[in-house]
């Protein structure tokens, strides 16, 4: 009756799950247990006004692979930046280590990006940039 059907072998799947090392499993668990507001995009305030993206990278790159950095250049955005990590756990570590860090006479404020706290023009610009990056990735393949 079932001769025309191929039965899926679940043991192969179980073997591949069992072969995951414990470090990867712990990382998956850690991500699953994170609060909802935690994400890989950070908003940084109170940076020195003449900070460069290289200086921001030197500071934030210690905690993992930094995917993208946006540094404020206009008068109203100077001293602020957005830092995007490849990993949410790296972003979490950066927040825990760098928030309230004193640089010169300033205390850094490092928080998780929140759409509600971002001005609409900046939000639109950021969204457009992310869409363009995604399109570039798709067409590069």
**Full-prediction pTM beyond 0.75?**
no
Contact at 8 Å (CB) between 70 and 81? yes
Longest Cα–Cα distance of the chain, Å, equals 79
What confidence score (pLDDT) does residue 58 get?
95
In degrees, rounded to 5, the angle at the alpha carbon of residue 36 between the alpha carbons of residues 118 and 21 is: 125
What confidence score (pLDDT) does residue 43 get?
94
pLDDT in tens, the chain (141 residues): 444 443 444 444 445 555 566 666 666 565 556 566 678 899 999 999 999 999 999 999 999 999 999 998 888 888 999 999 988 889 989 999 999 999 888 999 999 887 665 566 567 777 777 788 777 777 765
Contact at 8 Å (CB) between 84 and 53? no
What confidence score (pLDDT) does residue 76 get?
80
Residue 3 located in a structural domain? no
Q: Residue 84: which CATH number?
A: 3.30.70.330
Distance from first CA to last CA of the chain, Å, rounded?
44
Residue 95 located in a structural domain? yes
Residue 126 located in a structural domain? no
Question: How many domains would you assign to the chain?
Answer: 1
Residue range of the domain that includes 108: 37-114
Tokens of 56: 């921001």
């Amino acid at each position: 009756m079932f001769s025309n059907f191929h039965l899926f072998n679940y043991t192969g799947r179980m073997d591949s799950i069992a072969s995951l090392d414990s470090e990867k499993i712990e990382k998956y668990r850690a991500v699953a247990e994170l609060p909802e507001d935690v994400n890989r995009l950070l908003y940084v305030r109170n940076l020195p006004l003449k900070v460069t993206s290289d200086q921001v990278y030197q500071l934030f790159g210690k905690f993992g692979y930094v995917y993208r950095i946006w540094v404020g250049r206009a008068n109203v955005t100077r001293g602020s930046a957005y830092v995007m990590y490849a990993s949410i756990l790296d972003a979490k570590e950066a927040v825990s280590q760098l928030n309230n860090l004193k640089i010169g006479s300033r205390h850094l404020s490092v928080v998780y990006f929140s759409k509600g706290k971002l001005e609409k023009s900046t939000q639109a610009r950021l969204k457009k940039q992310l869409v363009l990056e995604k399109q570039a990735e798709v067409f590069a393949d």
